[in-house]
Structure 1
């Protein structure tokens, strides 16, 4: 979720949107279908729970979303952050 300048910066930090298998039907929770994302189960991006974590905690890619799904997440983040 972070811009590359943060990801590659000296702080070693990255902003992430946590993913869970439990959805609550909120506008800030974006559904990620397993077929489209490569995840094992249908999941939800919790855009209301942004985290800053060390890049060392991000060990491997678990799945990948396409540009259309990223636009939906972007809209949810804009809603949550009132941008």
Structure 2
């Protein structure tokens, strides 16, 4: 695998080849790796970014724990 910049650039080029325009609605689902969402937003400025379910769940539980919210037993 290459850098996020290179991979996302290749994705952008592929999108343009199949007809993507500045008006195309784009939704991206990914794990939110350091730099990934930033690079996607840079190269696809109108993209709606969605954190994938398993990583969202992990972040949600970590946030709840940091806020002192305890799981009921």
Structure-2-length-normalised TM-score: 0.31
The structure with the largest alpha-carbon Rg is 2
- Greater helix content: 2
- Greater strand content: 1
Structure-1-length-normalised TM-score: 0.28
